[in-house]
Structure 1
Amino acid sequence: MKRILLAFVSLGLAALLILGGVTAAKASPSYDQEVTETAKLYKGTPFKWGGTTPKGFDASGFTKYIFKTTVVNKDIPRTSAAQYKGGAAVVKGKEKMGDLVFFKTNGKSISFVGIYLGNKEFIAATSKGVRIQSLNTKYWKDSYAGARRYLP
């Protein structure tokens, strides 16, 4: 009996030594948090028509840059209208952090996009630079066109 117990203990110790370097898999990153926190790092970046880099962004250039350079590593379309056509539609009021929110600022077609932060706020490259905006303001409420989800 002692021999059997000793054999089991020896096998257990051997297994620990062999598998000692193995660790549990890390939890997958929180894509929504990665996207929103990274976007916030660019607050104050100047607006540049056609801009797609931290030297200057336009609205869709900003969202494209954030989605490509974060853990999401997703190459979304370049224009806000094209971004609106992609992704999964989100019911108004059901937006989640990291969703793209779209606006018809010219009254006719999709012309502006931002990244939803939660609590009725979004971040976007406005004419005054990258800023956090409230969906509760009349301007954004009146021009809101919908949201799309690109995150996994």
Structure 2
Amino acid sequence: MAWPQQQPAADGAWPQQQPADSGAWPLQTGEAAWQQQQPFPGPAATTDGPGTPAGAVGTVSAADPVNGPKAERALDFARAQTGRPCVMGATGPDSYDCASLTQAAWKAAGVALPRSAPDQANAGTVIPLSSVQPGDLLFFHDDLTHVGLYTGNGLMIHAPGPGRYIREESVHSVGESAIRGAVRLA
């Protein structure tokens, strides 16, 4: 069974989807029981654009203490990898894929994560996108096969794909309708 297609609301905001019951991601059980609960703001600013509107995802600064010093260490590690190549299956230190980047970043902070993005989606607490804080993991696509590390102000660090380079850019760079959820580890 396919996951439901997201459609923007009348105000252009994208819906937030949350697991319907247990909080577990549907991939483990094959369920497609997701309910739209909270609005997800439209496109956020990139490093080239203006700031994020008040009340939108990422309006907090990276200095906010919600995820604490472990998240800061993970973010510092991930930022140090920007510019390195994205290679499918690579696990560092010279190149990474999306899941190995988040795995290595959180390992640098003393937190062990599984190797694949879908497994990482089950490694923490699912949170609404409206509540993301720097250090949270963002998951994309129906099968949760892409992951990025939220940095604040509507941005994330991720390995966008083979032939590209690790970068910090808008959470919407993968596609506005591609984002599926967020997980907090710390």
TM-score interval (norm. to shorter): 0.7 to 0.9
CA distance in 1, matches of 2:102, 2:90: 11
Indicate the residue corresponding to 1:33 in structure 2. 72
**Which runs of 5 or more structure 2 residues have no equivalent in the other structure?**
1-67
Q: Which runs of 4+ in 1 moved over 3 A?
A: none
Does residue 60 in structure 1 map to residue 103 in structure 2? no
Q: How much has 1:136 moved relative to structure 2?
A: 4.0
Identify the structure with the greater helix proportion. Answer: 1
Match of residue 147, structure 2, among 113, 123, 127: 113
Structure of higher CA gyration radius: 1
CA distance in 2, matches of 1:130, 1:136: 16
Does residue 131 in structure 1 map to residue 167 in structure 2? yes
Q: 1:1-150 alignment to 2 at 5 Å?
A: 30-68=69-107, 70=108, 72-104=109-141, 108-127=142-161, 128-137=164-173, 139-150=174-185
CA distance in 2, matches of 1:83, 1:102: 9
TM-score with structure 2 length normalisation? 0.59
Q: How much has 1:126 moved relative to structure 2?
A: 1.4
CA distance in 2, matches of 1:37, 1:132: 12
Contact 2:86 2:166 in 1 (8 A): yes
State, as a whole percentage, how many aligned pairs show the same letter.
Answer: 26
CA distance in 1, matches of 2:94, 2:78: 14
